Amino acid sequence: MKSLMSLVLGFSLAGAAWAHAHAANVPDDMPDVQKIRFCERVRDHALQAFYNRENGRPMKLYEEDGSHGPRITNQIIRRIYAEPQISSPKKAEAFGRATCNEMMGTKQSPE
């Protein structure tokens, strides 16, 4: 039992060290990095909109306050509901990411 606890503790410390090292490689002060992270979150909203559409739920839009975030997210959600050719979760994610990157002016999104 004691060895099991030390093994679990060791894995959790190793995971924390790897996560910290990976995060340090990407500087937070770069605008493109922030745009890419934003588009990753928008991709998640696109996927949720796809599932909502497929389950017959109403469209959930965000209140627009003049900033880019809600405007871009709402436009993607509207298009997912309007276009039946977005027919799989993978297509919804790709559409959300590509549309966001285009609207934000991001050159490429790392995978």
Question: Which pLDDT score is estimated for 93?
Answer: 94
The rounded distance, in Å, linking the Cα atoms of 86 and 104 is 21
Question: Which pLDDT score is estimated for 74?
Answer: 95
DSSP letter string, 55-104? TTPPP--PPP-SSHHHHHHHHHHHHHHH-TT--SHHHHHHHHHHHHHHHH
For residue 48, give the amino acid letter.
Answer: Q
Question: Which pLDDT score is estimated for 31?
Answer: 73
Q: Are 75 and 99 a contacting pair, CB within 8 Å?
A: yes
Q: What is the pLDDT along the chain (111 residues), one digit of tens a residue?
A: 555 444 444 444 444 443 333 322 333 444 778 888 888 999 999 999 999 999 999 999 999 888 888 999 999 999 999 999 999 999 999 999 999 988 887 765 445
Question: Which pLDDT score is estimated for 8?
Answer: 45
